[in-house]
Structure 1
Amino acid sequence: MGRDYSGEGVRVDTVKECDMPRTGFAVRGLNPSTAMAGLDDSVPLGRVVQPEDIDDVVLLLASDAARYMCSMLLEVNGRKALV
């Protein structure tokens, strides 16, 4: 889509959140606080992604700062996916 519409000034980009479970720990027999702390420790930036993290990336893409970005997939993952 980015290639199809970029000539018309339309940028098409995608924001992907790293897949992080936030609920259902008790169902699995885990203490939610302990499980979340373990997840935080597993992410190199020290915590799992929050909705505000995604919001900021979307705002970046909507701004002039991203005026030359097109057909990008931005994964907001705290580097978790690379570990």
Structure 2
Amino acid sequence: MIFDSKQEFDQSYLPIIQSVIEEAGFPHKLGEPISTIYSMKKADHHWNRKLMELELTHRIKKWRLRNIRNIMSLAKLIGTEIK
């Protein structure tokens, strides 16, 4: 939006941007607003991807464990021992 407006950045928004940085826990210092916002967007994307990878890994491990338990239960039911 800042680029599309083709207007100079309104400095009165700096306290709002700074409060968002602090409340969201970003380790950024407010310098040049456009580069700071871009950097925050990049960091947010990076950590969202890491969180998604952790969630996916957890789901896969949970799925494997459930399937192993199902196979063991089925083997026990039919009288076969699995080692």
Work out which structure has the larger RCO, using CA pairs closer than 8 Å and 6 or more positions apart in sequence. 1
Higher helix share: 2
Higher strand share: 1
Q: Quick check: which has more Rg, 1 or 2? A: 2
